[in-house]
Amino acid sequence: MKFTLKVAKPHKLAVDSLNLFLFEEDLAKSFSDFPPQIIVQIKEALNKENFKGATSDQLVISGSLDEAAFYKMSVSGLGKKAEFDLAALYESVGRSIRLSQGTKAVKIAFDLPLFWLDKFGPEKTVEAVVIAAMLSSYKFLKYKSQVEINKIRPIEEIIMVIPAQKLAQAEGGIRGGILIAGATLYARDLVNEPAQITTPPFLAEEAVKIAKNSKGAVTVKIWEEDEIKKNKMEAFLGVSRGSHQPPRFIVMRYKPARSRKKIALLGKGITFDTGGLSLKGSEHMETMKLDMAGAAAVLGVFSVIGEIKPPIEVVGLIAACENMPGGRALKPGDILKAANGKTIEVLNTDAEGRLTLADSLSFAVKSEKPDEMIDLATLTGACVVALGENIAGLFGNDVKLLAALEKASNSSGDRVWQLPLEKSYAELIKSQIADIKNTQTGKYGGAITAALFLNEFTADVPWAHLDIAGPAFAEKVTPLTAVGGTGFGVRLLLNYLKSV
Ligand code: BES
Ligand code: MN
Ligand code: ZN
């Protein structure tokens, strides 16, 4: 997909679709740079279709308006100006792309509303349009045969119409948007790739490739089983034991010449979660290739970090393994000692993510001594019950870090909502015979008790936990996602790293 900025009269562009956006407040005014007779014709169509500018309002005006060079016009409502933020911009561009896809448009022009350019600035606006266009038109086609692929007509070019005096400021937005969206789509690809391919060694190889392509900005270290053993990561190894796939511990590092602080990013990397001996029902297992979405987000960030160049050291940690019910698998009642010395009674082998993260967090604290740690994990179904499919649960022990992540989330499109790290519930994960147990007493508040479990391994280092079980994987098509991996977390983390 090619992006270009153009100073032009929008109706003079010979495109398949000219995409227009209208706020409710602006319906009565003259839109953009169109000649009066075209405006009359557009207004006629809007009236006929009862278009009021609500975000759900869309219509296609086809063909021959006076003096128009475009083939069709796709109009999308933007709602009210007061309620419009960057997240709304992403969504509206996504909806507009979907509308044009319905008209089989290959070459599209967006008439960028002045309100966007003024409110967000030309660079941010263009960056957001590029990101939304790329995310919206993503499809995972690797396993479709050519006959099927030939039926699809992908969008080839997107022209953004912009006033001359804003052009220079806008140009950086294209490159920035392509980087951020590219990293997000890479994370999607990793999640969508079946677990027969994305094994722990495969994820490790991806990390190695990222380092190789980074022109020296990223270094990587891969531990195989004996080194994991030497480092006493018994909780991680316990989960891996029921599988024929060997585990890998992945350490990625980005270290600029001068760094203001050091942040550890930890991704849950269960390449497939059967539940182990506490086996999942087949319905719940169907999508469990998604259980490395946290790891995919971390890999996504590292795939572009050398180009984005944040002024901080970033360490990426992934304990990658499968959760399988093989002959050597963990048994309910088994007790494991995590790398920080705490003992864990494993009562449910399906609560495996917290076991692997326990050792990743312990390692980060002891060997990396970061200023901050952020983990991303498809950790609990309970979090999906609490917040639904579109919003990640945010937990942590540091008010400042949590506020900064909320802020980074707001402008990224990746939505989070803070849930409490309620200390009085820690009672519920005390074990009779070990230090803690991996499931709770009772059945309520499962996302919180999982976060409290992780907290046992943070040693009070500022830490935030994102439970992304809901938003990591889309069960249906939305303006910005296809069914499958969403790349959730990549945009949020990149935004955060840029803001530090
Ligand atoms: N990977 C799952 C969580 C999950 C569920 C992710 C749905 C995405 C969608 C996790 O390992 C798990 O199985 N969690 C259990 C924990 C329980 C056994 C304490 C759960 O949420 O049911
Ligand atoms: Mn599980
Ligand atoms: Zn899991």
Whether residue 189 contacts residue 485, with contact meaning beta carbons closer than 8 Å, is answered with: yes
Burial class (CB in 10 A: 0-12, 13-18, 19+), 333: exposed
Ligand 1 probe mutation, 274, 282, 379, most atoms within 8 A of CB:
379
CATH topology of domain 179-499: Aminopeptidase (3.40.630)
- The alpha carbon of 358 and the centre of ligand 3 are apart by a number of angstroms equal to 14
Total residues belonging to the chain = 500
Ligand 3 centroid to 283 CA: how many Å? 14
**Do residues 298 and 204 lie in contact, with contact meaning Cβ atoms separated by under 8 Å?**
no
Shortest CA distance to 136 belongs to which of 84, 108, 173, 96? 96
Which atom of ligand 1 lies closest to the CA of 446?
19
Cβ proximity of 374 and 265 under 8 Å: yes
CA 390 to centroid of ligand 1, rounded, Å: 17
**2 among known catalytic residues:** no
Please give, one letter per residue, the 3-state secondary structure of 81-113: HHHCCHHHHHHHHHHHHHHHHHCCCCEEEEECC
Residues having C-beta closer than 5 Å to ion ligand 2? 273, 350, 352
Atom of ligand 1 nearest to the CA of 381: 21
Q: Is 196 exposed, middle or buried (0-12, 13-18, 19+ CB in 10 A)?
A: exposed
**Element holding 399 (H helix, E strand):** helix 399-410
| pLDDT value, residue 395 | 99
Atom of ligand 1 nearest to the CA of 382: 21
Does the active-site annotation cover 280? yes
Give the residue, by CA position, lying nearest to ligand 1 atom 7.
381
Closest CA to 322 of 416, 221, 197, 217: 197
Q: Which fold has domain 2-162?
A: Leucine Aminopeptidase, subunit E; domain 1 (3.40.220)
Integer CA distances (angstroms), 80 to 19, 84, 339, 400, in order:
19, 6, 53, 32
Report CA(456)–ligand 3 centroid distance (Å): 19
How many Å separate Cα 104 from the centre of its chain? 28
pLDDT at 29: 81
Atom of ligand 1 nearest to the CA of 440: 19
Q: How far apart are alpha carbons 497 and 134 in whole angstroms? A: 22
- pLDDT given at position 68: 87
pLDDT value, residue 125 = 98
Q: What are the residue ranges of CATH 3.40.630.10 in the chain? A: 179-499
Is the CB of residue 475 less than 8 Å from the CB of residue 178?
A: no
Tokens 């990013």 locate to 265
Q: What is the pTM of this model?
A: 0.98
pLDDT for the residue numbered 33: 79
Per-residue confidence (pLDDT) for residue 124, from 0 to 100? 98
Do 393 and 450 meet the contact criterion of CB atoms below 8 Å apart?
no
Distant-in-sequence, close-in-space partners of 483: CB < 8 Å, separation ≥ 6:
474, 475, 476, 477
Ranges for all domains in the chain classified under CATH 3.40.220.10: 2-162
Q: What is the pLDDT along the chain (500 residues), one digit of tens a residue?
A: 999 999 999 999 999 999 999 999 999 887 777 888 889 899 999 999 999 999 999 999 986 777 889 999 999 999 999 999 999 999 999 999 999 999 999 999 999 999 999 999 999 999 999 999 999 999 999 999 999 999 999 999 999 999 999 999 999 999 999 999 999 999 999 999 999 999 999 999 999 999 999 999 999 999 999 999 999 999 999 999 999 999 999 999 999 999 999 999 999 999 999 999 999 999 999 999 999 999 999 999 999 999 999 999 999 999 999 999 999 999 999 999 999 999 999 999 999 999 999 999 999 999 999 999 999 999 999 999 999 999 999 999 999 999 999 999 999 999 999 999 999 999 999 999 999 999 999 999 999 999 999 999 999 999 999 999 999 999 999 999 999 999 999 999 999 999 99
Neighbours of 409 (CB within 10 A): 24
How far is it, in rounded angstroms, from Cα 243 to Cα 225?
A: 13
Secondary-structure percent of the chain, ordered helix, strand, coil, rounded to 5 = 40, 20, 40
Output the pLDDT for position 499. Answer: 95
Q: Is the CB of residue 482 less than 8 Å from the CB of residue 136?
A: no
pLDDT in tens, 133-169: 999 999 999 999 999 999 999 999 999 999 999 999 9
CB-based contacts of 146, cutoff 8 Å, min separation 6? none
Residue 16 has a pLDDT of 96
pLDDT single digits (tens) 181-195: 999 999 999 999 999
The residue written with tokens 């990293």 in the block is 183
Helices in 30-166 by DSSP H: which ranges?
36-48, 86-102, 114-120, 122-136, 146-150
Contacts of 165 (CB under 8 A, 6+ apart): none
Tokens standing for residue 496: 């955060």
User: Annotated binding site, which residues?
Assistant: 268, 273, 291, 350, 352
**Which among 98, 241, 253, 354 is annotated as catalytic?**
354
* Catalytic entry in 43, 280, 337, 342: 280
- Please give the full DSSP string across 212-275, using - where no structure is assigned: HTTTTSEEEEEE-HHHHHHTT-HHHHHHHTT-SSPPEEEEEEE--SS-S-EEEEEEEEEEEE--
Residues touching ligand 1 (Cβ under 6 Å) are 273, 291, 348, 350-353, 378-382, 384, 439, 446, 469
